[in-house]
Structure formats: structure tokens, C-alpha cells
Structure 1
């Protein structure tokens, strides 16, 4: 199976991500070897990640982020509360106006007494009432 070539935008994004990982590693005074050991990968894998190789696994990225102390970043990458495009699309689907619900004809409630439920006047004994 042929390897799919990502778009130019994806390629640029991966390169930037790799460069940012490299800077974050250096700011923490970590060698590639130390980062690789912490993430459970080899040094060549770290080099490929820092170069923006599109074949890197998401699991490798996640482990590198954890070692760099940024493990929560991956989970917040496409947080739905900050998804501006998704929110715009949803707002376009909102109705133009809201109408009141149609009222249905009133039906007698179960607590109302019907003529057939009425008891004869003065015949309280048959219903078990003492007063």
C-alpha cells in the first residue's frame, strides 16, 4: 500500500509541531536520548518526530508530551467548547423564529368527576362515609 502524502498545510503543521517539541526539549535541558528513554522509543524516532515526519504514531506523540510535562495538551487539541468552526455551523442551523406550541383541545383530567361518577345525594352509607 502506498504511503499517503499529507497536504501542504498538514506538512507545515507537522514540521512546526516537531520544531516546537525540539524547542521544548531543549528548554528543559533534555537530550534526545533522555526524551527517548522516557517515552519508551529510540533516538531515531525522536529525530523523526522533531523533523515532522507524518508517519509518527499518535501514541509516540502522546508519550513525548507526557515526558515533557504537557500530557494534557493532546486531550484539549480539539476541545468542543472552543471549536469555533463547529459552533458557527451549529449557529447557522438555528431556526429563524420560535413559535409557541399548538394547543390541543382540553381533555378532562382524571381528577375531575364525570356524571357517571357522581353518587346519589344522601346515600353516604353506600360509599363508606360516616359524615
Structure 2
């Protein structure tokens, strides 16, 4: 995993690794990173899906660039009901009135889908978020 900060101390992008080979596409490997930022396919799919489940457009657009939400979009699109993901940060918290990944994922994922995210706090403590679909 990349460090949480760049050499000049700036917070680096969130990078994640899915714990499954050949997903979301045949030939993908578990060491292929998913990096935060706008993705032409998955960000658009995620933003629309988040709006459909009631998130404000601004909140949906912000979250659609996050690794966790993009992986959830991949899950929904491919029908993969359980995925484990390791990231070099922790899922973002709520920032009222906007939801963070931890609150948005259960709303976004369909019932029967689970995304388990392993991350670390800023001081290196491990965190686990198990987001179970509720829609």
C-alpha cells in the first residue's frame, strides 16, 4: 500500500486493493490498485446510483470519486455480493449535512451485498468497516 502521506507531508490519494482475482474484469488481479479520483465509468455509475437512493447531488458527486463507492458500483454492476477491500486510509466520516462512505454505503448497496473495508487511522491503527446493503 502507498503511504498515507507524500514525501512533503501532504495527504496522498486513497488507494485500494480488492482481495479477488479476475474481478471486476477477467484478467484483473488483486494487486491492481483502485485509486481515488474521477473514473469515467465507475464514478458516473456511482453518482447516479447515490442520487437514486436519496443523496444530494453534491454529496453523490463527492463520494463517487472515493475508492469504496467505486468498488460498490463495481459490485452492483457485476452482481458480486461480497467483496473485501484494503485501503491506505479509513473510510471518510460524515460531515453534516453530507454523508461519508460509512453511512452512504449501506444505503447504496442492495440488500444481501456486503463490502468489508480494511483501513488505518492517521496514527496507523487498523480499522474495519463492514457495510451491509439495506435497500
TM-score where L is the length of structure 1: 0.22
> Higher relative contact order by CA 8 Å / sep ≥ 6: 1 or 2?
2
Instruction: Return the structure number with greater helix share.
Output: 1
Instruction: Return the structure number with greater strand share.
Output: 2
